[in-house]
Amino acid sequence: MSAPGFPQLPPGFRFGAATAAYQIEGAHDEDGRGPSIWDTFSHTPGRTLGGATGDTACDHYHRHREDVALLRGLGVDGYRFSISWPRLLPQGTGAVNRKGLDFYDRLIDDLLAAGIAPAVTLYHWDLPQALETPSNGGSAAAGGWRVRRTAEAFAEYANVAADRYGDRVERWITLNEPFCSAFVGHAEGRHAPGAREGRGALVAAHHLLVAHGLAVRELRAAGAREVGITLNLDRLHAASDRPEDLAALRRAEVLHNEVWTEPLFAGRYPEHEAETWQGLADGPWRRPGDLELIGAPLDFLGVNFYRPVTVTAAPHRQEDPALRTAVDIGVAETDPYGTRQTTMGWPVVPSAFTELLTGLHARYPRLPPVWITENGSAEADSLTPDGRVHDPERIDYLAGHLAAVADAVTAGVDVRGYYVWSLLDNFEWARGYDQRFGLVHVDYHTLTRTPKDSYHWYRGLITAHRARTEETAR
């Protein structure tokens, strides 16, 4: 199978690669790092595939120089990584861990020396455990994102990070995919903290948005260059035109997208939230002034996209209405696409990416410029006897999705750049080490890194793009 040609993005469009702290760093108890909810969760039997943890992961904490060299070899303009909150503030607030601060200093300086612009995510799911279970005898259900204090602690952490790194970081992302933190973590329980609390997930969603708003204020006050948030938005379809499927689609739009996009870009809560949550969305956790705080203007929206979702109406599964509303909105997912699926079981439909981006552009006049902060595919990669990893499916996925971004740009959407997920194979949360998303293969026994064919393809794409940009500038 010959490699697909390079999609053409406009001159000046930027290319990067992305990772997240808990998925690659390892060194979970070194140099003063405190535990996070993901340490606790992954060490709890039965929570992750095969009991996998991030204790070692890709050992990036000790090998970051090698990883920066891989980024330089790839030719990327930018690198998106996350800071581990408990590495900087082991208790979540208060004392700052100097060794943790120094680690990201070295990483940022090495990136800049390699000509790579750092983009920092402040929260990629690794909440300090001390905030989840307060030491004052409070129970787990009394802490974490269920309480507003955690949003205030996040602002303190944002301030520490901006103060130290603000002079060198190009782009700040407050939260990564708050959908997963709130709903996968507090409703489905598949992610840390592993809670199934129904209404608790809605409270968590609101406090995450408040945390974002407070952090934006801190970042602005510290003179941060570009500030935004990353959402995993879904392109949703209804399985049919039946009224019940269309109603299911409306509820799914609230759950997946509007719970974030409406407060952020339209200054309101979703129109259909009452029918979606059956009255449980509104409560004393929402305070006057929150919408103004959450909706403060941003420099960009980060979009993570992997696959489309088709929904159909389904009977509610749970009897307890307080549990039911946040966990179960009476919707089931189907896969009518008939396309190839990645090893995550996700259908490959690039045109859905264009539709998502053009839909956002049409709906929100206040939408800031967009950066694609994640996109990529997990494939069944293996090292072959020639010492290489041949991953034509990933190349095909990337080519298709970058062409879909180019189509959105042609249709008028202001997309500035693209970070591929991911630089390295890494810890895929509850799926452990089974799913390989990297452009670089990692042998988890020896920690040897081997660039895959997709790494070479992406480098070729960047080189060709840069040549075209320079030609246009002449």
Name the residues annotated as catalytic: 177, 374
| Min CB(387)–ligand IFM separation in Å | 26
CB nearer to ligand IFM: pick between 374 and 407: 374
In the shown chain, the binding pattern of residues 125 to 164 toward ligand IFM, with x for contact by CB under 6 A and - for none, equals ----------------------------------------
| Min CB(283)–ligand IFM separation in Å | 28
Q: Half-sphere exposure of 118 toward its Cβ, with a 13 Å CA cutoff?
A: 26
Longest pairwise C-alpha distance within the chain: 67
CB neighbour list of residue 456: distance below 8 Å, 6 or more residues apart? none
CB nearer to ligand IFM: pick between 290 and 396: 396
Q: Which of 374, 379, 393, 407 binds ligand IFM (CB under 6 A)?
A: 374
| Min CB(273)–ligand IFM separation in Å | 25
155, containing H or E segment: helix 148-165
CA 302 to CA 371: how far, in whole Å? 5
> Which string of DSSP letters, residue by residue, matches 356-405?
HHHHHHHH-TT---EEEEE----B-----TTS----HHHHHHHHHHHHHH
Beta bridge partners of 374: 304
Q: Under a CB-based contact definition with an 8 Å cutoff, are residues 315 and 330 in contact?
A: yes
**Size of interface with ligand IFM, in residues (CB under 6 A):** 8
Here the tokens at position 451 are: 């660039």
CB nearer to ligand IFM: pick between 80 and 324: 80
Q: Is 316 helix (H, G, I), strand (E, B) or coil?
A: coil
Residue 181 binding ligand IFM, by CB under 6 A: no
Q: Which of 20, 117, 204, 301 binds ligand IFM (CB under 6 A)?
A: 20
CB nearer to ligand IFM: pick between 173 and 360: 173
| Min CB(138)–ligand IFM separation in Å | 28
CA 392 to CA 398: how far, in whole Å? 10
Q: Which of 421, 455, 457, 458 binds ligand IFM (CB under 6 A)?
A: 421
Q: Which of residues 447-466 bind ligand IFM (CB under 6 A)?
A: none
In the shown chain, the binding pattern of residues 291 to 330 toward ligand IFM, with x for contact by CB under 6 A and - for none, equals -------------x--------------------------
| Min CB(435)–ligand IFM separation in Å | 7
| Min CB(365)–ligand IFM separation in Å | 28
> Which string of DSSP letters, residue by residue, matches 180-234?
IIIIIIIII-SSTT----THHHHHHHHHHHHHHHHHHHHHHHTT-SEEEEEE---
Residue 177 binding ligand IFM, by CB under 6 A: yes
CB nearer to ligand IFM: pick between 173 and 329: 173
Q: Under a CB-based contact definition with an 8 Å cutoff, are residues 121 and 181 in contact?
A: no
Dihedral Cα 221, 222, 223, 229, nearest 10 deg: -80
CB neighbour list of residue 261: distance below 8 Å, 6 or more residues apart? 231, 233, 360, 363, 364
Q: Which of residues 424-443 bind ligand IFM (CB under 6 A)?
A: 428, 437
| Tokens 């490699």 found at | 3
Q: Under a CB-based contact definition with an 8 Å cutoff, are residues 343 and 435 in contact?
A: yes
Q: Which of residues 37-66 bind ligand IFM (CB under 6 A)?
A: none
| Min CB(282)–ligand IFM separation in Å | 29
| Min CB(74)–ligand IFM separation in Å | 19
CB nearer to ligand IFM: pick between 177 and 253: 177
Please tell me the total number of residues recorded for the chain in this structure: 474
Q: Under a CB-based contact definition with an 8 Å cutoff, are residues 375 and 305 in contact?
A: yes
Residue 381 binding ligand IFM, by CB under 6 A: no
CB neighbour list of residue 167: distance below 8 Å, 6 or more residues apart? none
CB nearer to ligand IFM: pick between 109 and 333: 333
236, containing H or E segment: strand 236-238
CB nearer to ligand IFM: pick between 452 and 465: 452
Residues that bind ligand IFM (CB under 6 A): 20, 23, 177, 304, 374, 421, 428, 437
